[in-house]
């Protein structure tokens, strides 16, 4: 999608600190981190939100979660723990309309979230 911020990052038109990249998925550092480690993991294919996912996207979503676990493991957070978050639409707090999962680690998280 031409005007989408994260599609621009996928195309390399906007710089990002990319930590993972394959044919389906990209992960990069959040520009405004909310934890010592704050990565965004996205499908390269534009999907506006979790509400827009279809059955055929299931494998890609599973892959995103597997990449999240892999990155957390590589960065040494598997044992201590971490949080994976998706914000969907207005009440979920979604600001960027390209599906993304936050990987937060390096501090104790609160529950319930605000």
Task: Scan residues 28-47 and list those touching ligand 5GP (CB under 6 A).
Answer: 28-32, 40
Distance CA 89, CA 8 (A): 21
Tell me the closest approach of the beta carbon of residue 69 to ligand 5GP, in angstroms.
19
Give the residue among 95, 114, 112, 110 at the shortest CA–CA distance from 32: 95
Whether 102 is a known active-site residue: answer no
Indicate whether 108 belongs to the interface with ligand 5GP (CB under 6 A). no
Pick one of Zn ion, ligand 5GP, none as the site partner of residue 30 (Cβ within 5 to 8 A by kind). Answer: ligand 5GP
CB closer to Zn ion, 4 vs 60: 4
Tell me the closest approach of the beta carbon of residue 79 to ligand 5GP, in angstroms.
25
Torsion of CA 62, 80, 95, 111, to 10 degrees: 110
Query: Buried (b) or exposed (e) across 31-46, using 16+ Cβ within 10 A?
Result: eeeebebbbbbbbbeb
Helices marked H in 1-114: 5-10, 58-74, 89-92
Indicate whether 16 belongs to the interface with ligand 5GP (CB under 6 A). yes
Residues with active-site annotation: 100
Using CB under 6 A, list all residues that contact ligand 5GP.
5, 14, 16, 28-32, 40, 87, 93-96
């Amino acid at each position: 999608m031409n005007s989408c911020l994260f599609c621009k990052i996928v195309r390399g038109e906007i710089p990002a600190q990319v930590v993972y990249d394959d044919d389906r998925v990209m992960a990069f550092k959040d520009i405004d981190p909310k934890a010592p480690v704050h990565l965004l993991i996205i499908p390269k294919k534009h999907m506006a939100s979790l509400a827009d996912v279809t059955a055929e996207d299931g494998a890609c979503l599973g892959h995103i979660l597997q990449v999240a676990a892999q990155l957390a493991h590589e960065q040494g957070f598997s044992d201590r723990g971490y949080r994976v978050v998706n914000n969907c639409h207005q009440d979920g707090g979604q600001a960027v309309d390209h599906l993304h999962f936050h990987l937060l680690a390096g501090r104790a998280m609160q529950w319930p979230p605000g």
